């Protein structure tokens, strides 16, 4: 078993550093804008609103595209083996060189980035979406229990997840909304998939509680406290780069997830989430380079790139998964198909097997490394493209084989498995 002491020690330090903001020495309870009840489920004390509204069921689709079958002619057994082998290695392989899923205690687990010695809430979010899609309930439940155990327990940031963000000079502590958004959606899907077989976790209640947190954070805090804001701008309906006053007017194309917001709207009936889905799609269009299709790491709400974060980087690979899911789940706009074709044309123009990793938005190569992560992201994008070259990108993903091993296995591994699940038609609405 991989030791968890260095990781947990760093997580404790992270929580402490995030809480060292200028403080008025209050907690969410004492702020008192909305009464809340305390309840304990064994994973630490959690604050739950008195009146969480029940969520409506989600409307799925009769079928989902399967690029491996439809474009490459692979059999169901071949596809199942491909996905299963990758999952088994990343979740239950050699803990020293293969696995990124680390069990801790008797009923918890997290996703570990060995290269940076960090627990990744981004990775937990990816993993929860993957495990609910593959009907891996035990692994899903372990990840959720761990997530609850690391939620900020009190203060203005109560309920947020401690994380790491790119501050321009390496990782710095933050409350990255990316993992929170993924985890919330994964719980919604888990409610639909497993509600017929009730267990110890009430997925619907957990999803509703997180949605309530995301929507009403500033209501519970009586406004902005200690520089902590809600995750979303109330007028623009876009997520902040981080939920802090320092991020006013700034988001990231990789953290806007219109497919998820559309599900949140279905579940809650709150028109804000329909507005958020529309705003996210418009933000992508405003941020994308008209010729290459490339999007920046960070951009202001009007799509203007933020200086110092104005290149297409490895973080931007996540955008392609979000675009693919929005098209598959929502069939939102013809622009997504055009954008997918534009991006694939850009990458194939740099060589199908040689294109780089980091680019300026006008297409100049900044870092020439050819990686599994971007190969996988482009494969997901090919699922919704119409250009004849899309088959080449799907083949590149199929030919990857098992995920990489060694210290740097986390990001290429989790993105490769994410691509396998999406491209095989298994990331569905339940």
* Residue 428, CA atoms < 13 Å, CB-side half-sphere: 17
242-268, pLDDT tens digit by residue?
999 999 999 999 999 999 999 999 999
Task: Specify the higher pLDDT residue, 172 or 321.
Answer: 321
pLDDT at 45 over 90: no
pLDDT of 421 > 60? The answer is yes
The per-residue b/e assignment along 388-402, b for 16 or more CB within 10 angstroms, e otherwise, is ebbebbbbbbbebee
In a domain, 301, yes or no: yes
Query: In the structure, what pLDDT confidence band is assigned to residue 34 with cuts at 50, 70 and 90?
Result: low
In a domain, 326, yes or no: yes
- 411 belongs to a structural domain: yes
The answer, yes or no, to whether residue 35 has pLDDT greater than 50, is: no
The CA-to-CA distance between both ends of the chain, in Å, stands at: 34
The CA-CA-CA angle for residues 221, 226, 232, to 5°, reads: 60
**What SS3 state is found at 172?**
strand
Residue 30, in any domain of the structure: no
pLDDT band at 125 (very low <50, low <70, confident <90, very high): very high
Residue owning tokens 């973080």: 315
pLDDT band for position 47 (50/70/90)?
A: very low
Q: Which of the four pLDDT bands, split at 50, 70 and 90, describes residue 28?
A: very low
Model pLDDT, residue 407:
97
Looking at residue 331, its pLDDT comes to 86
Instruction: Please indicate, yes or no, if residue 196 is contained in any of the structural domains.
Output: yes
Task: Pick the more confident residue, 38 or 392.
Answer: 392
51-71 pLDDT, tens digit each: 688 999 999 999 999 999 999
Task: Give me the pLDDT at residue 410, please.
Answer: 98
**For 136-167, how does the pLDDT look when each residue is reduced to its tens digit (9 = 90+)?**
999 999 999 999 999 999 999 999 999 888 77
DSSP string computed for 89-115: HHHHS-TTTT--EEEETTTEEEEEETT
Over residues 400-423, the mean pLDDT reads 97
The maximal CA–CA distance of the chain, rounded, in angstroms, is 62
pLDDT exceeds cutoff 60 at 32:
no
pLDDT at 15: 47
In this predicted structure, what is the pLDDT of residue 229?
97
Is there a domain that residue 408 lies in?
yes
- Give the residue from 210, 150, 147, 215 showing the smallest Cα distance to 184: 210
Sequential DSSP letters for 313-355: -GGGHHHHHHHHHHHHHH---HHHHHHHHHHHHHHHHT-TTT-
Q: Which of 49-58, 183-192, 302-311 has the lowest mean pLDDT?
A: 49-58
Q: Look at residue 299 and tell me whether its pLDDT is greater than 60.
A: yes
Q: Which of 230, 186, 227, 176 is closest to 207 using CA atoms?
A: 186
255: closest CA among 166, 344, 193, 340?
166
Residue 28 within any structural domain of the chain: no
* pLDDT score of 33: 61
Q: What is the pLDDT of residue 165?
A: 86
Per-residue pLDDT at 231 exceeds 90: yes
Helix (H, G, I), strand (E, B) or coil at 298: coil
223-244: average pLDDT? 97
Instruction: Quickly state the pLDDT bin for 345 (edges 50, 70, 90).
Output: very high
Cα 399 to Cα 82, 280, 393, distances in angstroms? 10, 33, 10
Number of domains in the chain: 1
Q: Is residue 334 part of a domain?
A: yes
Looking at residue 264, which CATH number applies to its domain?
1.50.10.10
Q: Look at 17-21, 211-215, 314-318 and tell me which has the smallest mean pLDDT.
A: 17-21
Mean pLDDT of the chain: 90
- Interval 192-207 mean pLDDT: 93
Tokens coding 187: 């719980």
Range of the domain at 405: 5-22+35-423
């Amino acid at each position: 078993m991989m030791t968890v002491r260095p990781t947990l020690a760093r997580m404790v330090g992270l929580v402490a550093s995030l809480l060292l903001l200028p403080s008025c020495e209050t907690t969410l309870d004492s702020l008192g804008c909305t009464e809340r009840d305390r309840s304990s489920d064994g994973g630490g004390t959690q604050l739950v609103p008195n009146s969480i509204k029940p969520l409506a069921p989600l409307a799925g689709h009769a079928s989902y595209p399967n690029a491996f079958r439809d474009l490459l002619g692979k059999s169901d057994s071949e596809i199942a083996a491909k996905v299963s082998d990758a999952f088994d290695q990343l979740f239950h392989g050699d803990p020293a060189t293969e696995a990124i899923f680390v069990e801790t205690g008797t009923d918890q687990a997290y996703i570990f980035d060995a290269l940076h010695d960090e627990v990744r809430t981004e990775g937990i979010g990816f993993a929860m979406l993957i495990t609910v899609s593959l009907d891996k309930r035990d692994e899903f439940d372990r990840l959720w229990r761990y997530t609850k155990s690391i939620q900020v327990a009190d203060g203005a940031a109560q309920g947020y997840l401690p994380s790491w963000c790119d501050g321009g000079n390496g990782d710095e502590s933050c409350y990255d909304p990316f993992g929170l958004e993924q985890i919330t959606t994964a719980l919604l899907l888990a409610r639909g998939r497993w509600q017929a077989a009730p267990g110890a976790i009430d997925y619907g209640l957990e999803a509703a509680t997180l949605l309530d947190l995301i929507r009403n954070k500033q209501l519970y805090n009586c406004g902005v406290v200690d520089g902590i804001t809600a995750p979303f701008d109330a007028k623009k309906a876009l997520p902040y780069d981080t939920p802090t006053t320092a991020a006013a007017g700034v988001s990231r194309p990789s953290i806007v997830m219109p497919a998820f917001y559309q599900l949140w709207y279905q579940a809650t009936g709150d028109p804000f989430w329909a507005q958020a889905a529309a705003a996210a799609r418009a933000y992508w269009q405003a941020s994308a380079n008209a010729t290459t299709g490339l999007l920046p790491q960070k951009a202001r709400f009007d799509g203007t790139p933020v200086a110092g974060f104005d290149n297409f980087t490895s973080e931007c690979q996540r955008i392609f998964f979000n675009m693919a899911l929005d098209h598959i789940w929502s069939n939102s706009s013809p622009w997504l198909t055009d954008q997918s074709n534009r991006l694939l044309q850009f990458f194939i123009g740099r060589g199908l097997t040689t294109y780089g990793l980091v680019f300026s938005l006008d297409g100049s190569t900044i870092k020439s490394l050819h990686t599994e992560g971007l190969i996988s992201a482009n494969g997901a994008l090919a699922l919704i493209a119409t250009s004849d070259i899309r088959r080449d990108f799907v083949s590149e993903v199929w030919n990857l084989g098992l995920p990489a091993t060694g210290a740097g296995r986390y990001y290429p591994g989790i993105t490769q498995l994410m691509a396998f699940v999406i491209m095989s038609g298994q990331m569905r609405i339940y």
